[in-house]
Amino acid sequence: MPIAPDFTSVYSHEWEINFVQCNPNGLLKHTELCNILQLTAGYHAEKGGLSFSDMQEHNQAWVLSRMRVEISRLPKWRDTVTVKTWIYDLQGSRSIRALEMYVGEEKIAGCVTFWAVFNTKLRKAETLALPHEHFIKYPEREATTESFRKIDLGRQSEIATSRSVVLSDLDIVNHVNNVKYLEWCLDSIDYKPLLRQQLQSFDMNFMRELQLKDAVVLHKAIEDKTTFFSITKDDKPCFALELNWK
Same domain, 123 and 232: no
Query: Are 144 and 154 in the same domain?
Result: no
| CA distance linking residue 86 with residue 146, whole number of Å | 17
Residues 155 and 135 in one domain: no
> Tens digit of pLDDT for each residue in 210-221?
999 999 999 999
Domain identity same for 158 and 246: yes
- Where does a domain end: 103, 131, 148? 148
Asked whether residue 63 falls in the same domain as residue 5, the answer is yes
Contact of 84 with 11, CB cutoff 8 Å? yes
The count of domains in the chain is 2
Do 84 and 124 lie in one domain? The reply is yes
DSSP lists the bridge partners of residue 237 as 232
Under 8 Å CB-to-CB from 22, ≥6 apart: which residues?
A: 28, 29, 32, 76, 77
Decide: 101 and 109 in contact? Cβ < 8 Å: yes
Same domain for 121 and 60:
yes
Can you give the pLDDT at residue 126? Answer: 95
Q: Are residues 143 and 71 in the same domain?
A: yes
Best CA proximity match to 243, nearest among 5, 31, 17: 31
Query: Do both 135 and 41 map to the same domain?
Result: yes
Question: For 93-137, how does the pLDDT look when each residue is reduced to its tens digit (9 = 90+)?
Answer: 999 999 999 999 999 999 999 999 999 999 889 999 999 999 999
Same domain, 2 and 35: yes
Model confidence at 1, pLDDT cuts 50, 70, 90, reads low
pTM here is 0.94
Which domain-ending residue is among 115, 148, 181? 148
Full domain range(s) for residue 222: 150-246
Q: What digits encode the pLDDT tens for the residues 163-204?
A: 999 999 999 989 999 999 999 999 999 999 999 999 999 999
Consecutive H or E run containing 80? strand 80-91
- What is the Cα–Cα distance from 201 to 162, expressed in whole angstroms? 25
For residues 156 and 138, membership in a common domain is answered with no
Instruction: Quote the CA–CA distance of 73 and 134 in Å, as a whole number.
Output: 34
Cα separation, 171 vs 218, in Å, equals 21
Task: Tell me the chain's radius of gyration from C-alpha atoms.
Answer: 18
One domain for residues 209 and 225 = yes
The CATH number of whichever domain residue 154 belongs to comes to: 3.10.129.10
User: Do 132 and 143 form a contact (C-beta atoms < 8 A)?
Assistant: no
What CA–CA distances, in Å, run from 229 to 1, 31, 90, 137, 138? 39, 16, 29, 33, 32
The residue among 148, 183, 198 that closes a domain is 148
